[in-house]
């Protein structure tokens, strides 16, 4: 297997893009990534997306996006793994290049959510859960996360005020991100005063609805020097699954898919959690961000909320986390989220993160989750020597 490098990245601002179609969103991000890489054509295109059929009445995204990029004839497919679709699209592109089947590939993600009514958006994301046991109860992803938060607080003595510091950190970092949906600071008090969504989770502790697209260009590490002076090495790319129904899992406060994928990734990359300088986690509510830190091996189970409260996830802390705003503040356009995470790590490792730069960042990790943990995708990136 060949080593793989990321040689170009691109994304658009997450938000309400009423004047652009699903096709236009992806093309803009992908063409930006190609320009960044100095490449005008690739061998394959992987498109991460969750809900184009449900929200946009559009299927066949592989061919559609290849056409939008001006690349008829290229191999192209859509990749779906709930809101881990973007991360898994990158994973599939990495495997194709590593295997030697492709030399140049684009992996991207796109979601256009604002054209739909909110109940339809909620219905679409709930398709990531087991339909007959979960979806038909009327519960939402936020409702499931609220049950998790209640259990976490009860078992580990955490307060909701401690948990929401995760969202506060996201917003603090998003202020300097021109691609963020919500680039403004918030406080714990403001979160607690915002409307209740599902007890105890409040409005300012949940991602909003937004359109977005992001893309990366990959090639064999041995050829990376042809395109860029700052290639980023893909140290590991792994995917693992768990049972879809959360109530059939052995432990509700542990995402076994994340733990399994992370263990494989650390071994593949030859690193430990202590070697990671910057991390992007899938925080579709604060409690899930806290649990991610634990399951990725950065802190012991039940201690994640203390780690956050001590400021260790801030830029300048022990483990800078979600340095461009995470799901809460950068935004969570489902099928694109995992690709945004990889793009943001590339910026950090290239030294292009501006005011949010983590000094000396050499190793970054991204965790992208599908649904409430049935799929987890882990990427470990390294600055090339």
Q: Are residues 239 and 223 in the same domain?
A: no
The pLDDT value given to residue 134: 79
* pTM for this model (two decimals): 0.98
Q: CA quadruple 290, 354, 331, 171: dihedral positive or negative?
A: positive
- Which residues span the domain enclosing 68? 4-117+210-231
Residues 74, 129 within the same domain: no
Give the dihedral sign, CA 381/29/64/52: positive
Q: How many domains is the chain built from? A: 2
Residue that is last in its domain, among 196, 231, 266:
231
Question: Do 315 and 272 belong to one domain?
Answer: yes
Among candidate residues 164, 196, 231, the one where a domain is terminated: 231
Average pLDDT, the chain: 97
H helices within 83-193, ranges in order?
85-99, 118-126, 141-156, 160-163, 165-174, 188-193
- pLDDT greater than 90 at residue 83: yes
The answer on 354 and 225 residing in a single domain is no
Q: What is the mean pLDDT of residues 338-345?
A: 98
Q: What's the whole-number mean pLDDT along residues 228-248?
A: 95
217 & 180 share domain: no
Q: Reply yes or no on whether the pLDDT at 334 is more than 80.
A: yes
Cis peptide before 200 (omega within 30 of 0): yes
Does 6 score more than 90 pLDDT? yes
Decide if pLDDT at 229 tops 90: yes
Looking at residue 137, what is its pLDDT?
A: 82
DSSP sequence for 183-242: -S---HHHHHHSPEEETTEEGGGS----BEEEEEEEEEGGGGGGT-SS-EEEEEEEEEE-
Read off the pLDDT of residues 45-62 as tens digits, 9 standing for 90 and up: 999 999 999 999 999 999
Same domain, 151 and 82: no
CA distance 11 to 339: 9
pLDDT for 247: 84
Least confident of 64-73, 136-145, 223-232, 280-289: 136-145
pLDDT of residue 385: 73
Radius of gyration of the chain (CA): 19
- Whether 362 and 305 map to the same domain: the answer is yes
Do 146 and 164 fall into the same domain?
yes
Q: Are residues 18 and 68 in the same domain?
A: yes
DSSP state letters, 273-319: GGG--EEE---SSHHHHHHHHHHTTSS-TT-HHHHHHTTTTSTTSSS
In tens, the pLDDT along 272-321 reads 999 999 999 999 999 999 999 999 999 999 999 999 999 999 999 999 99
Q: Per-residue pLDDT averaged across 241-261, rounded? A: 94
Q: Do residues 67 and 162 both lie within one domain? A: no
pLDDT at 275: 98
**Quick one: 329 and 223 in the same domain?**
no
Assign residue 85 the CATH number of its domain.
3.40.47.10
The model's confidence at residue 246, banded by pLDDT at 50, 70 and 90, is confident
Q: How far is CA 352 from the centre of its chain?
A: 19
For 107-144, what is each residue's pLDDT tens digit? 999 999 999 999 999 999 999 998 887 777 888 999 99
CA distance 382 to 366: 12
Query: Tokens 């893909």 — which residue?
Result: 234
Give the pLDDT band of residue 245 (cuts 50, 70, 90). Answer: confident
> Are residues 10 and 108 both part of a single domain?
yes
């Amino acid at each position: 297997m060949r080593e793989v490098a990321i040689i170009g990245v691109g994304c658009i601002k997450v938000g309400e893009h009423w004047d652009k179609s699903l096709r236009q969103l992806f093309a803009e991000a992908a063409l930006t990534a190609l320009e960044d890489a100095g490449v005008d054509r690739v061998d394959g295109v992987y498109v991460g997306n969750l809900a184009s059929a449900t929200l946009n009445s559009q299927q066949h995204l592989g061919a559609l996006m290849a056409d939008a990029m001006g690349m008829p004839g290229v191999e192209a497919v859509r990749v779906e793994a709930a809101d881990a679709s973007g991360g898994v699209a990158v994973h599939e592109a990495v495997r194709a290049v590593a295997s030697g089947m492709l030399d140049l590939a684009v992996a991207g993600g796109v979601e256009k959510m604002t054209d739909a009514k909110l109940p339809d958006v909620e219905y679409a994301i709930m398709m990531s859960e087991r339909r007959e046991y979960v979806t038909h109860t009327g519960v939402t992803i936020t409702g499931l996360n609220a049950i998790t938060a209640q259990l976490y607080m009860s078992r580990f003595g955490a307060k909701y005020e401690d948990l929401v510091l995760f969202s506060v950190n996201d917003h603090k970092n998003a202020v300097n991100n021109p691609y963020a949906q919500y680039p403004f600071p918030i406080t714990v008090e403001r979160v607690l005063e915002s409307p209740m969504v599902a007890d105890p989770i409040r409005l300012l502790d949940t991602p909003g609805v937004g359109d977005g697209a992001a893309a990366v260009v990959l090639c064999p590490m041995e050829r990376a020097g042809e395109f860029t002076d700052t290639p980023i090495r893909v140290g590991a790319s792994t995917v693992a699954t768990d049972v879809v129904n959360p109530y059939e899992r052995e432990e509700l406060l542990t995402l076994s898919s994340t733990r399994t994928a992370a263990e494989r990734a650390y071994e593949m990359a030859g690193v430990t959690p202590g070697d990671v300088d910057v991390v992007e986690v899938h925080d579709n509510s604060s409690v899930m961000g806290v649990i991610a830190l634990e399951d990725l091996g950065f802190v012991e189970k039940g201690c994640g909320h203390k780690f956050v409260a001590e400021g260790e996830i801030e830029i300048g802390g022990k483990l800078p986390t979600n340095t461009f705003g995470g799901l809460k503040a950068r935004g969570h356009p489902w099928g694109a989220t995992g690709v945004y995470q990889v793009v943001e790590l590339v910026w950090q490792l290239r030294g292009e993160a501006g005011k949010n730069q983590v000094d000396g960042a050499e190793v970054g990790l991204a965790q992208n989750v599908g649904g409430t943990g049935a799929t987890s995708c882990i990427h470990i990136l390294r600055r090339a020597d």
